[in-house]
Amino acid sequence: MTTALAPRDPVTDHLLTPQNAALLIIDYQPLQVGTITSMDRQLLVDNIVRVARMSKTYGLPIVTTTVNVKSGLNLPMLEQLQALTPGVEPIDRLSINAWEDPAFRNAVSATGRKKLLMTALWTEVCLAFPALDALAEGYEVYPIVDAVGGTTLEAHRAGLDRIVQAGAKPVSWVMVICELQRSWARAETVPDFKDILFGHTHETIGN
């Protein structure tokens, strides 16, 4: 059997690791999900649940946010995501751009991580705006492209194009989980890795 190279420093590794990345989940609320037309909504929900599950498996710091819940104008974050992020209180805000909310920005800073896995609804607004701001402040931004959605396919693509041109690094959820696992020798996370990657997920959209 071929011997694997010694693991690199997980903090300074240029690839994503459980020790150098954080996950941002922005505005996964029923109303926003219901307006997505850039991809199948059920698949969108399945994929963001996979993302949350893998972040829990690998112990990534997670920051979640909602918009207009306390004002009574919107419903809370999807119940499936709430169940996977116990102890993580969503930061509710009024600003369209989450980065313009001090509580959100401070929570991101408090993770101590510079590699940000970003997910949001919509791609062209609630992903694009904070991603551009984070990039401007020296963060590395990794939009998980198959766990985000826009109001139209064209809007989704325009949002991704804009942040990629600014320096964002697009990834898929499969790419991320394999990058975090990195080796079958990391036996403690292999069962969850296999279940998330090969299991059948079918979550409901409603709250």
Residue 130's SS3 state is helix
What domains lie within the chain, and their CATH numbers? 21-197 (3.40.50.850)
Q: Of 60, 47, 74, nearest to 19 (Cα)?
A: 60
201 pLDDT above the threshold of 80? no
Tens digits of residue pLDDT in 72-110: 999 999 999 999 999 999 999 999 999 999 999 999 999
DSSP letter for 26, please. Answer: E
Contact 143, 127 (CB under 8 A): yes
Contact 24, 120 (CB under 8 A): yes
Tens digits of residue pLDDT in 103-132: 999 999 999 999 999 999 999 999 999 999
Say how far apart CA 44 and CA 42 lie, in whole Å. Answer: 5
Tens digits of residue pLDDT in 9-45: 999 999 999 999 999 999 999 999 999 999 999 999 9
Say how far apart CA 85 and CA 82 lie, in whole Å. Answer: 5
Say how far apart CA 154 and CA 156 lie, in whole Å. Answer: 5
Q: Of 148, 41, 28, nearest to 78 (Cα)?
A: 28
In the sheet with 91-93, reading across from the earlier edge strand, the strands are 91-93, 62-67, 21-26, 115-120, 140-143
Say how far apart CA 128 and CA 110 lie, in whole Å. Answer: 22
- The pTM assigned to this predicted structure is 0.92
Q: What pLDDT score was predicted for residue 79? A: 95
Query: How far is CA 38 from each of CA 138, 164, 190, rounded to the nearest angstrom?
Result: 29, 18, 32
Say how far apart CA 11 and CA 18 lie, in whole Å. Answer: 8
